[in-house]
Amino acid sequence: MKKIKHLFNKYKQKISDKTYNINGYKVDKFIIDGLINFGFKVEKDNLIVTSPSNLKLRLDFQPYVLFESFTSKDYEFFSNDDDSILIDIGMNAGFISLQFAQKENIKKVYAFEPFLPTYNGALKNIELNKEIADKIETFPYGLSNKNAKMELLYEKGLAGNMSIVKNLYDNSNPVFDTDNANIETIEIKDASEVLGPILERNKDKKILLKCDTEGSEFEIIESLDNSKLLQEVDIILVEYHFKSPKIIETILTKNNFVVFYKNGYDPETKCGMIYAVKND
């Protein structure tokens, strides 16, 4: 998630003594205040909060990602009544999968997350919402342009920033401390091999693809382009990281997408949102 590191850097010192104690779990005050202002129901003795649309979500895993997922509105670009599916690449704690699963016209969500602790955290959130849980099919692996297993450093408190393409623990950012990280073995699979059968099963529906993978989005889009599967997708929502988004824009434009940038395109920014709609 693009804002997490910024939030840490900006607020780490300022809010170190400004927290709420929610049933023994400390949560930064600006997160709780922000969620309440957004319409969430928060109880002082309950780690489960309720969104304005009645989603039940845990506060004790990825509160920063929870805050951003519901307040930035990065994924509220799509509005359509056609029967659709969501392919959620980079499920994280499941917040976006659950938001889409609540929509009546979203018939199925296919969600991918390679880091097992994060995956298990998402399952807990999904299980809290039994009325829509069956709409979400989860996969404990990531997508890329190849099949491989990897050992990577993983930090639960920064799960929203974990990347399979960039070493975050290279001492260039004090937020990422090896003393707080564990080694996780993850699996990645070629996006085209995995998504091909899913797209084939859902030819009668609109296809939405959401991708927030901390750098892997370039390899994923490349794989789908090479296999011609991008031509089967109707709407793409991508958070890009570390490299110029023009790489992705060029591929999408070639595949007959109209491309937009949230807040416009800034060549100096290596992190932001791309929205793309098939130009039928």
> What is the predicted pLDDT for the residue at 11?
39
| Whole-number Å distance between alpha carbons of 211 and 273 | 10
Determine whether domain 72-148+186-278 maps to CATH 3.40.50.150: yes
Which are the contacts of 174, defined by CB distance < 8 A and separation ≥ 6?
none
121-163: per-residue pLDDT in tens? 999 999 999 999 999 999 999 999 999 999 998 888 888 888 8
Backbone angles phi, psi at 249, to 5 degrees: -60, -40
Task: Please name every residue paired with 190 in a beta bridge, in sequence order, or none if there are none.
Answer: 144
Tokens in use for 254?
């070639």
Give the pTM: 0.90
| Whole-number Å distance between alpha carbons of 97 and 92 | 9
Using a pLDDT cut of 70, give the percent of the chain over it.
90
Q: Are 207 and 87 in contact (CB under 8 A)?
A: yes
178-200: per-residue pLDDT in tens? 888 889 999 999 999 999 999 99
> What is the predicted pLDDT for the residue at 5?
43
